[in-house]
């Protein structure tokens, strides 16, 4: 039982990151109806930008790469998020905007191309090795009261940040004027424009917010005692797809719930796999999100929270 709870806690920590990733996908999708395949690269970029501003960790065993300042972690992270958001807005303005009204395939391929350029560009600047971040987290764990149940500090921080970001975004989305404008544009673009909402601004805003959140997810994936910024971070973005399919591709709450669920399922599977399912092969747990997604797609294509696609005949 305590094993299960530990796996569960791991899953919650991982799920918080997946929820942020999924949130990024959903924000972009709601605004521009594009699946942002460049998001993985943006996550990696976030990590590299933190490295750029905060420098290498004190551990001297790693060769250092290009950095311009040694700001504290808490200062570098917001800067990195801001710059990533700016990159997201630029992508929307100069590339995605040209694909409005074009087939889905073209937009998907364009974001894939942007992703390749961003990812390889980041590797060109910072190399493809692991760069440990100078971050305040050590390996210490926080006891959770229950017997033998503990959570690492970085995981607890991740969870709290994810909750804060999700809560903040939902408040912004539901209560503020800009959030209402975003929802209005998603519901009916022409009617929203007739009310004086600038659709272009909304699209750029959405891409900016999504990119900043994605960058935060990447930074969190790279923070911690045994983690570092590396090209493999961008692969985590792909687990965001099962999460949004689970929750519904256009539902903010669905993305958060889906991401959390995917994280828990994956980590519990990872915990039990060596003992009970070794015949499925090493690393089978990394497939569980996709298998779950396939089942959901066959049973309920629009996910649990998403709106069903209405097609005019």
Partner 1 sequence: MSGALLGLLLLALTSAGLIWWSVRDRSAYVTNYASDLRQFRPNGRKWMALVGLLTMISIPVGSSWIGYKGFHLPNGFLPGTPFNDRWLLVACIAGVYAIAAMGLNMLIGNAGQISLGHAAFVSVGAFALGFFGRSIATNSERGLLHAGNGFHGLLVLAFSAILGGLVAAAIGPFALRLRGNYLAIVSFALVFVAQHLVKNWNGMTGGEGNPRTLPALDFTLLPGKTVTLRDSSGSTNFFDTFFSSNSSGNATDKPGYFWTIWIVVAVMALFARNLLRSRHGRAMMAVRDRDLSAEVIGVRQMYTKTWAFAISGAYGAVAGCLYGSLFDHVNESTFNLAFSIAFVTMIVIGGVGTVPGSIVGALFYVFTQEFLLYFQDGLQQNLPFIQSDPAKSGLTIDRFTLLLFGFLLIVFLIRYPEGLMGMWRKIKRYAMTWPLP
Residues lying near partner 1 in the complex (CB under 8 A) are found at 29, 35, 65-66, 95, 98-99, 102, 104-106, 108-110, 112-117, 120-121, 123-129, 238, 241-242, 245, 249, 280-284, 286-287, 290-291, 293-294, 297-298, 301, 311, 313
Give which of 81, 83, 115 is closest to 96, Cα–Cα: 115
Please, what is the minimum distance in Å from the beta carbon of residue 297 to partner 1?
A: 6
Q: Which is nearer to partner 1, 271 or 306 (CB)?
A: 306
Nearest-5° Cα angle at 134, 128 to 140? 115
Q: Strand pairing partners for 25?
A: none
Give which of 273, 305, 307, 308 is closest to 288, Cα–Cα: 273
CA distance 258 to 18: 8
Q: Which is nearer to partner 1, 98 or 140 (CB)?
A: 98
Could you tell me if 211 and 85 are in contact, meaning their C-beta atoms sit under 8 angstroms apart?
yes
Q: Which is nearer to partner 1, 5 or 108 (CB)?
A: 108
Return the number of other C-beta atoms located less than 10 Å from residue 162's C-beta. 26
Please, what is the minimum distance in Å from the beta carbon of residue 135 to partner 1?
A: 21
Please, what is the minimum distance in Å from the beta carbon of residue 129 to partner 1?
A: 5
Q: How far is CA 178 from CA 171, 185, 192, 197, 206, in A?
A: 11, 10, 12, 9, 10
Please, what is the minimum distance in Å from the beta carbon of residue 234 to partner 1?
A: 11
Please, what is the minimum distance in Å from the beta carbon of residue 309 to partner 1?
A: 9
Q: Which is nearer to partner 1, 54 or 288 (CB)?
A: 288
Q: Which is nearer to partner 1, 65 or 200 (CB)?
A: 65
């Amino acid at each position: 039982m305590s094993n299960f709870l530990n796996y569960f806690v791991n899953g919650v920590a991982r799920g918080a990151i997946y929820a942020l990733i999924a949130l990024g996908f959903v924000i972009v999708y709601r605004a521009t109806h594009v699946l942002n395949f460049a998001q993985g690269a943006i996550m990696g970029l976030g990590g590299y930008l933190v490295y750029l501003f905060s420098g290498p960790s004190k551990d001297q065993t790693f060769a250092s790469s290009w950095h311009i300042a040694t700001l504290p972690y808490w200062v570098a992270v917001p800067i990195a998020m801001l710059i990533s958001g700016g990159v997201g807005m630029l992508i929307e303005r100069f590339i995605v905007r040209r694909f409005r009204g074009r087939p889905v395939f073209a937009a998907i391929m364009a974001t894939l191309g942007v992703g390749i350029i961003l990812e390889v560009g980041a590797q060109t600047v910072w190399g493809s090795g692991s760069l440990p971040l100078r971050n305040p987290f050590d390996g210490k764990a926080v006891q959770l009261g229950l017997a033998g149940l503990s959570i690492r500090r970085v995981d607890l921080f991740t969870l709290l940040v994810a909750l804060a970001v999700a809560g903040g975004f939902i408040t912004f989305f539901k209560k503020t004027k800009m959030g209402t404008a975003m929802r209005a544009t998603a519901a009916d673009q022409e009617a929203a424009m007739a009310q004086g909402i600038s659709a272009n601004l909304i699209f750029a805003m959405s891409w900016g917010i999504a990119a900043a959140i994605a960058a935060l997810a990447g930074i969190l994936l790279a923070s911690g005692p045994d983690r570092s910024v590396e090209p493999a971070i961008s692969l985590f973005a792909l687990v965001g797809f099962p999460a949004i399919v689970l929750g519904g591709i256009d539902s903010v709450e669905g993305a958060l719930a889906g991401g959390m669920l995917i994280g828990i399922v994956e980590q519990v599977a990872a915990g039990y796999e060596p003992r009970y399912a070794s015949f499925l092969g090493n690393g089978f747990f990394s497939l569980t999100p996709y298998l779950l997604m396939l089942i959901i797609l066959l049973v309920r294509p629009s996910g649990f929270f998403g709106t069903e696609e209405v097609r005019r005949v």
